[in-house]
Amino acid sequence: MRATIYFRGSLSSCNYDCPYCPFSKNIDSQETLTKDRLQVQKFVDWVGKQEESGHQLSVFFNPYGEGLTHRWYREAMVKLSHMQHVTKVAIQTNLSARLDWTANLNPVTTAFWVTYHPGQTVEERFLQQCGNLYEQKIPFSVGSVGVKSAFNSISSLRNALPDDVYMWVNAYKDKSEYYSAEDTAFLTDIDPYFVHNAKDYDSKNKPCRAGKNVFYVQGDGRVKRCYKDRQVIGNLYRDGLDGISKERPCRMKQCDCYIGYIHMEEQPFDSIYGERALERIAILS
């Protein structure tokens, strides 16, 4: 099976305190951090054993917080990137952690989904971190939450990044009718696919790869077809992918998040992102 696995352990803390993020103000206890470390290590060990099953796996770490400030996420990225049956390992990160360890990654299978948070870091420092990845030829995308207070910073960053680095913008959806026509035009100039993110998708009973060959795995091994669907469809360590996989039309009324709607089979995202959908790198003409 060619499968995509989103993994989220017990980590729920970040070194940033962005006002729009519910997890930015959490402080994990040492007990929670130890639990998360053991969960990540168990998952990596499980992935390592799947070569015997013939599975080809893509892995995406999307913790509730910043993973790369913790040694076990860096070690996991390195180990997974060198496994023959792992076609991709990516992580969602603010890129604030040291990057000397990235020299040990396999750049062919590694990718980064990098989020820029104006007010939490300075542009020069952030660009230096991006430049580190760029020089090593490690694929990455860069993006930001499209709050109006960040428009100038988003524009400045887009102008400073290399032209071949795709920059996305997450639509701010906490307020209805938040964007004017001029705002939308501005953000579309930054991210030509912004309008796709700015809408919600009717998804009830629509075909989706989630639950068939896309799985959302929690730290204890519980598997959900989608991160927003609370129904548990199995346990990774007990049932394995073959025991969990089956066609599962969406149970939710709407899908409003990138990591969900890119897997809807009736949507055009395969042609927009190709093999780079996981790390959100669009095909630029």
281 found inside a domain = no
For the stretch 173-198, pLDDT in tens is 989 899 999 999 999 999 999 999 99
23 found inside a domain = yes
pLDDT of 23 reads 58
79 found inside a domain = yes
- How many Cα neighbours within 13 Å face the side chain of 194? 23
98 found inside a domain = yes
241: domain CATH number? 3.20.20
Residue 127 three-state SS: helix
285 found inside a domain = no
Integer angstrom CA distances of residue 36 from 15, 63, 81: 16, 10, 20
For the stretch 19-65, pLDDT in tens is 666 655 678 899 999 999 999 999 999 999 999 888 999 999 999 98
284 found inside a domain = no
Residue 228 pLDDT class (50, 70, 90 cuts): confident
Tell me the residue range of the domain where 186 lies. 2-276
246 found inside a domain = yes
Neighbours of 20 (CB within 10 A): 12
Query: Global pTM?
Result: 0.95
User: What's the sign of the alpha-carbon dihedral 134, 270, 221, 106?
Assistant: negative
70 found inside a domain = yes
Structural domain count, the chain = 1
